[in-house]
Amino acid sequence: MQIDELDWIVVSMSKGNAERVRLPRIRSITPFPHCYGIKYQHVQLIHNSPSQNKDVEQTMEVRYMEPGNPYQMAVKQVQSVGRLLGLNEDTIEGLCKPRRELTVNFPVRMDDGRIRTFTGFRVQHNDARGPYKGGIRYHPKVNVDEVRALSMWMTWKCAVMGVPYGGAKGGVICNPKEMSKGELERMTRRFTSEIMLIIGPQKDIPAPDVYTDSQTMAWIMDTYSMSVGYPVPGVVTGKPLEIGGSKGRDEATSRGLMYVVQDAARLKKINLKKSTVAVQGFGNVGWHAARLLAEEAGCKIVALSDSSGGIFSKRGLDPYKVYEHKKKTGSVRNFKGSENITQEELLESDCTVLVPAALENVIGQDNAERITADIIAEGANGPTTPEADRIFYEKGTMVIPDILANAGGVTVSYFEWVQDLQFFFWSIEEIKQRLKDLMTRSFASVNGISNAQNVDLRTAAYLLALKAVLRASEARGLFP
């Protein structure tokens, strides 16, 4: 593994003051020749400093972590809960192995006339409970193990929510930031045609994920529809409203998160109107979460961050004003009336509710002890390591796991699909009410299992999910 293959690094400016830096901010990096393969190194790097708004050259200690294999982590999660359920190893293996994996290498004409070959994947993990469902990710580092893990997590998420889907995920290895809209459209259409065999409104329904959006879904829907000869809105979710998208999809993940935070607060007898919130990540999930928790749940937002760093204000931050500031300056930093803080300081800030809504693996053994929030609601997928989970369980911190806390997104995707299949569309009020009912029901079920079995909410959510998938498999029996 080389430094320039990583997504991010942790730069220690001085002892105890570490900052995660996304590589796109680093313009060039000159490691000392012997540095590859070890975890701490002094490297010389030139990066763009948002606070000084210029390139800064520094020699500093860089701690770079080899990212764990997400599929191995996903398998471990199933193995530990499977053993708790007394499942035999064959059954556990069956639950861990994706049913179908398609890898496609396909040509795309680029704007300069070159023909480049792209590699894409669609992994279908388990369809015992219904058609496969899961996003498509465009990223230079996407790989089949990552897609496998994400497809498994979709299976469990849908089972926890009781929505009748199995889990899938897709990805194309590409750098969308360096591609024109025309190139992205041609790549999307050709990829769709390559995976046409296994997707469809009754088979497998893709959705947006990292660096794909409603426009990408519109191209997939159109390509599929052109091939079969009639419009098929139900082949994807997360589409524009004009072609069968659902009201409320944009904020669905964060709205769902707010509902479970309200449930958790009631349980812990916390008055949200007197509570403070810190949100890591100010993208789709983080922005809507901050906005809804302030506006509808009455919380005071005290800390926010994006990839450039964080801000803190004891008196409270207005998410709308921060949004405008970020739109103007490109970052949340230097917002009037707030102090700039690091990502670590954000996570450890004095708050009632912490919402990690950016990256995976941000809360681990190193910082879990110092995190003082009463409730952690995982907007991101996989922000907390199993070691940190154990620490939180012992301290009494309530961690609402990702497969429940951020499941509002797939739930409203399900609503979109149902509306598409019926060609009958619901009002925003209906969407909100149905989402609230499902989130509240799932939170109550997971919490009930957690109390009955004396386990944390994550283990409880996995127990619920695995049992639901096994019951469906048993009911269907083994073919032939």
- Annotated catalytic residues are 169
The footprint of ligand NAD on residues 134-173 (CB under 6 A) is: none
Order across the sheet with 300-306: list the strands: 339-341, 309-312, 300-306, 276-280, 353-356, 375-377, 398-400
Indicate which single residue of 409, 420, 447, 459 sits in contact with ligand NAD (rule: CB under 6 A).
409
Contact residue for ligand NAD among 185, 306, 416, 420 (CB under 6 A): 306
Q: Counting contacts by CB under 6 A, is residue 20 touching ligand NAD?
A: yes
Decide whether 120 or 379 has the Cβ nearer to ligand NAD: 379
What are the backbone dihedrals phi and psi of residue 357, each rounded to the nearest 5 degrees, phi first?
-135, 40
* Residue 114: partners with Cβ closer than 8 Å, 6 or more residues away: none
Residue 253 makes contact with ligand NAD by CB under 6 A: yes
| Residues 138, 398: Cα–Cα separation, whole Å | 33
Residue 422: Cβ within 10 Å count: 10
The number of beta carbons lying within 10 Å of the beta carbon of residue 115 is 8
Q: Are 252 and 276 in contact (CB under 8 A)?
A: no
Q: Residue with CB nearest ligand NAD?
A: 283
The residue (of 235 and 377) whose beta carbon lies closer to ligand NAD is: 377
- Is 22 near ligand NAD (CB under 6 A)? yes
Residues in contact with ligand NAD, counted by CB under 6 A, come to a total of 23
Closer CB to ligand NAD, 262 or 406, in the complex = 406
Q: Which of 82, 234, 281, 401 binds ligand NAD (CB under 6 A)?
A: 281
Q: Which of 62, 87, 142, 380 touches ligand NAD (CB under 6 A)? A: 380
Binding letters toward ligand NAD, positions 341-360, x by CB under 6 A:
--x-------------xxx-
Residue indicated by tokens 């909100």: 432
Give CA–CA dist 278/356, Å, rounded. 8
Place of tokens 């606070």: 51
* Single residue of 45, 285, 354, 435 touching ligand NAD by CB under 6 A: 285
**Least CB distance to ligand NAD at residue 249 (A):** 8
| 82 contributes a contact to ligand NAD by CB under 6 A | no
Q: Tokens in use for 297?
A: 């749940």
Minimum distance from CB of 358 to ligand NAD (Å)?
3
Q: How far is the CB of 344 from ligand NAD (least distance, A)?
A: 10
Shortest CB 12 distance to ligand NAD, Å: 15
Q: How far is the CB of 70 from ligand NAD (least distance, A)?
A: 12
The answer to whether the beta carbons of residues 398 and 376 sit under 8 Å apart is yes
- Helices 408-422 and 144-161 meet at what angle, rounded to 10? 80
- In eight-state DSSP terms, residue 130 is S
C-beta of residue 416 within 8 angstroms of C-beta of residue 395: no
Alpha helix positions (H), 85-213: 89-96, 144-161, 181-195
Expressed in angstroms, the distance from the first to the final Cα of the chain is: 45
Q: Does 237 interact with ligand NAD (rule: CB under 6 A)?
A: no
Asked whether the beta carbons of 238 and 208 are under 8 A apart, the reply is yes
Q: Which is nearer to ligand NAD, 135 or 244 (CB)?
A: 135
Token pair for residue 44?
Answer: 């010389």
CB 125 within 8 A of CB 167: yes
Element (H, E) at 395: helix 386-395
**Residue from 381, 440, 445, 473 in contact with ligand NAD (CB under 6 A):** 381
Minimum CB separation of residue 193 from ligand NAD in Å reads 26
* Minimum separation from the CB atom of position 383 to ligand NAD (A): 7
* Nearest CB to ligand NAD, comparing residues 270 and 363: 363
Query: Taking the CB of residue 34, how many other CB atoms lie within 10 A of it?
Result: 8
Question: 155, 305, 313, 338: which one contacts ligand NAD (CB under 6 A)?
Answer: 305
Residue 241: DSSP 8-state: G
Our finding on whether 283 is near ligand NAD (CB under 6 A) is yes
Q: CB 282 → ligand NAD: shortest distance, Å?
A: 4
Q: How far apart are CA 357 and CA 266, in angstroms?
A: 22
216 is a site residue for ligand NAD (CB under 6 A): no
The residue within the footprint of ligand NAD, chosen from 255, 379, 442, 461 (CB under 6 A), is 379
Cis peptide before 480 (omega within 30 of 0): yes
* Sole window of 367-375, 377-385, 393-401, 446-454 interacting with ligand NAD (rule: CB under 6 A): 377-385
Q: Which spans of this chain sit near ligand NAD (rule: CB under 6 A)?
A: 8, 20, 22, 253, 280-286, 305-307, 343, 357-359, 379-381, 406, 409
